[in-house]
């Protein structure tokens, strides 16, 4: 841990104590479960009284996250979108994290609304229900009515949620620095994950960003009768308050739970999937949390969308990467698929390219020849992510989020219609991809981009070259070499020299009877003992690295 993290440990000591107590409890439960111990296991329970020893490992992680509170729940949700880092088993478990949290008292909510909108509540709403209709990790939702009678939903942040999140983020950063030193956790890249999570939390805490996202979706689907996006009211919104139209419909989760014979769930599933594919492949801006609780069936059969805090974006570069993946799979080109994976992902040192190509070739052979209607897209994505994870390749966040969204989309659709095929709906977009790849417009755009970059290079290159020549002429031109992996070797070399010097010096003191005691030099004997211990430690370090007898 860095010295700079020590002050925040002291500052947040109580919260550290709470977190470590929860982690210890669940860690002890995992230890007892692995050893099959039943004595005293009834003492290890979560807040709902569930015995932890009987729970699966992934379930214990989810329960611990739920007990640790809102920030950790959001972290679990972020990790659920990264199966390439945590694996699909844990990612699927984290997808079911419960967000229900105790609601704040109505008086405190009213105080926040009046403070944020800078006016009395009566000037904003004719009626305002003090009892929330829902309470999640970041905020709670209240029903209200405007002065013209329009029914609205008011989303208000929890009291002091920003302070609690800030404290937890500091603690999580300290924990990441601690556990990242463990070799078995290094592939998870915890520091990078924490950086991504902090950006996500800043976006989640800014309701103004969610308002802008909602406005953009409304513009995208303006005039489309299949989609309903709640209108927002910027004059009644702020960074901690968001006011939007109330949608009177039935959530798809309720339709699935109370399925009736006359419910056209298959048609709703297809309609919802078409809406999402249009977001992804046409607009490049999509709702990244497609679970049935965020989708509503309106009285006229349209699909209403809720909760725009988590969104994904596809720029031109990312869109081309995704297209390359689809084209490589459908054209059964394993070598191209391996090239695309290594180009878009962060690859570890010493990656076995040949083994990766072999595994991807087997993957392509298995899925490329299946009929489109029978293709298991979830199984294909799952196997693809497992291959990527096996070789410790980390995909960009945007790519991992897109894959997770497509998996959630197909899972949601199959809850309503077991025979649903998302790949069948993607097929027309694949044809559009191929046409767009060879279109003159795309070629012209790429040529313009290349000419623009070439123009910048022509403008910059002479000046940079002149600066280099001036440095060479003045004798100030330096070449910096990065010796990766050389530090341990240098440390062992220095330790070996010190051990040898200590051994020789101690031998001389023993031979000359320096400060003798019963005929033996005391400092010489101590030095010989220390040199022996250092030599053993050095041999163990060399043997552990596997470099003692190996010859290239």
The residue-averaged pLDDT of 78-96 equals: 76
Asked whether residue 261 carries a pLDDT value surpassing 80, the answer given is no
| Pair (94, 106) in one structural domain | no
Which region among 26-35, 73-82, 179-188 has the lowest average model confidence (pLDDT)? 26-35
Mean pLDDT of all residues in 33-49 = 51
229 phi and psi angles, rounded to 5 deg: -110, 125
Give, as one character, the DSSP assignment of residue 482: -
Number of structural domains in the chain = 5
Per-residue pLDDT, 51: 59
Pair of tokens at residue 510: 């023993």
Give the C-alpha separation, 187 to 389, whole Å: 9
What tens digit of pLDDT does each residue of 335-375 get? 888 888 888 888 877 788 888 888 888 888 777 666 666 66
Q: Is the dihedral of CA 449, 450, 456, 460 positive or negative?
A: positive
Among the ranges 54-63, 291-300, 375-384, which has the highest mean pLDDT value? 291-300
Residue 483 maps to a domain: no
Q: Say if 65 falls within a structural domain.
A: yes
Judgement on whether residues 68 and 142 belong to the same structural domain of the protein = no
Angle at 36 between CA 34 and CA 40, to 5 degrees: 110
pLDDT-wise least confident of 90-104, 131-145, 300-314: 90-104
Answer yes or no: is pLDDT of 241 > 90: yes
DSSP state letters, 281-318: IIISEEES---GGGEEE-TTSPEEE---SSEEE--HHH
Residue 173 shares a structural domain with residue 312: no
Please tell me which residue, 145 or 258, carries the higher pLDDT value.
145
Tell which phi-psi region holds residue 223, choosing left (phi > 0), alpha (psi between -120 and 50) or beta.
left
> Of the given ranges (111-120, 144-153, 306-315), which has the lowest mean pLDDT?
306-315
Q: Find the farthest-apart pair of alpha carbons in the chain and give their distance in angstroms, rounded.
A: 104
Same domain, 238 and 141: yes
How many other CB atoms are found less than 10 A from the CB of residue 538? 17
Asked whether residue 106 falls in the same domain as residue 134, the answer is yes
Answer yes or no: do 269 and 217 share one domain: no
In this predicted structure, which of 110-119, 187-196, 443-452, 517-526 has the lowest mean pLDDT?
187-196
Question: Is residue 523 domain-shared with residue 375, that is, in the same domain?
Answer: no
138-150 mean pLDDT? 91
Q: pLDDT grade, residue 487 (50/70/90)?
A: low
Same domain, 390 and 258: yes
Closest to 312 (Cα-Cα) out of 289, 335, 278: 289
* Cα 330 to Cα 261: distance, rounded to the nearest angstrom: 38
Question: 142-151, 158-167, 215-224: lowest mean pLDDT where?
Answer: 158-167
Cβ atoms of 436 and 282 within 8 Å: the answer is: no
Question: Which residue segment(s) compose the domain that 132 sits in?
Answer: 101-165+181-246
Give the position of tokens 């798809």. 252
Residue for token pair 């298995």:
366
- Cα 80 to chain centroid distance, Å, stands at 7
The answer to whether residue 125 is domain-embedded is yes
């Amino acid at each position: 841990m860095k010295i700079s993290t020590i002050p925040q440990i002291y500052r947040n000591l109580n919260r550290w104590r709470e977190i470590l107590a929860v982690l210890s409890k669940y860690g002890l439960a995992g230890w007892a479960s692995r050893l099959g111990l039943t004595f005293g296991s009834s003492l290890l329970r979560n807040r709902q009284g569930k015995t932890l020893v009987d729970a699966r490992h992934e379930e214990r992680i989810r329960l611990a996250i739920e007990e640790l509170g809102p920030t950790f729940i959001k972290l679990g949700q972020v990790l659920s979108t990264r199966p390439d880092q945590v694996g699909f088993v844990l990612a699927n478990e984290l997808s079911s994290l419960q967000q229900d949290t105790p609601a704040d008292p109505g008086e405190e909510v009213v105080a926040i609304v009046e403070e944020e909108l800078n006016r009395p509540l009566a000037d904003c709403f004719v009626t305002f229900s003090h009892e929330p209709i829902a309470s999640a990790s970041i905020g709670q939702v209240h029903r209200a009515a405007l002065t013209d009678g329009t029914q609205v939903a008011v989303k208000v942040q929890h009291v002091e949620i920003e302070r609690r999140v800030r404290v937890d983020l500091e603690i999580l950063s300290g924990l990441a620095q601690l556990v990242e030193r463990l070799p078995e956790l290094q592939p998870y890249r915890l520091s990078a994950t924490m950086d991504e999570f902090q950006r996500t939390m800043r976006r989640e805490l800014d309701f103004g960003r969610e308002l802008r996202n909602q406005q953009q979706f409304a513009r995208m689907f303006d005039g489309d009768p299949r989609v309903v996006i709640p209108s927002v009211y910027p004059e009644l919104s702020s960074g901690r308050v968001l006011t939007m139209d109330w949608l009177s419909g039935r959530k798809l989760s309720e339709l699935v739970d109370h399925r009736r014979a006359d419910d056209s769930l298959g048609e709703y599933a297809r309609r919802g999937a078409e809406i999402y594919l249009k977001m992804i492949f046409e607009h490049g801006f999509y709702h990244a949390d497609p679970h049935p609780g965020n989708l509503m069936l309106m009285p006229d059969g349209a699909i209403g969308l809720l909760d725009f805090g988590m969104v994904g974006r596809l720029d031109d570069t990312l869109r081309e990467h995704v297209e390359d993946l689809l084209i490589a799979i459908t054209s059964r080109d394993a070598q191209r698929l391996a090239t695309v994976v290594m180009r878009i992902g962060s690859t570890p040192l010493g990656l076995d390219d040949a083994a990766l190509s072999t595994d991807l070739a087997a993957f392509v052979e298995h899925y490329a020849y299946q009929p489109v209607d029978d293709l298991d897209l979830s199984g294909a994505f799952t196997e693809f992510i497992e291959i990527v994870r096996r070789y410790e390749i980390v995909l960009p966040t945007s790519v991992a989020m897109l894959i997770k969204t497509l998996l959630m989309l197909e899972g949601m659709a199959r809850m309503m219609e077991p025979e649903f095929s998302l790949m069948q709906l993607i097929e027309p977009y694949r044809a559009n991809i191929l046409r767009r790849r060879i279109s003159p417009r795309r070629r012209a755009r790429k040529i313009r981009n290349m000419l623009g970059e070439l123009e910048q290079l022509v403008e910059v290159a002479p000046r940079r070259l002149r600066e280099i020549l001036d440095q060479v002429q003045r004798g100030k031109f330096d070449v910096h070499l990065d010796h990766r992996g050389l530090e341990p070797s240098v440390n062992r070399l220095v330790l070996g020299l010190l051990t040898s010097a200590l051994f020789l010096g101690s031998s001389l003191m023993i031979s000359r009877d320096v400060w003798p005691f019963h005929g033996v030099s005391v400092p010489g004997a101590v030095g010989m003992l220390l040199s022996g211990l250092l030599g053993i430690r050095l041999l163990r370090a060399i043997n552990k690295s596997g470099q003692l007898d190996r010859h290239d």
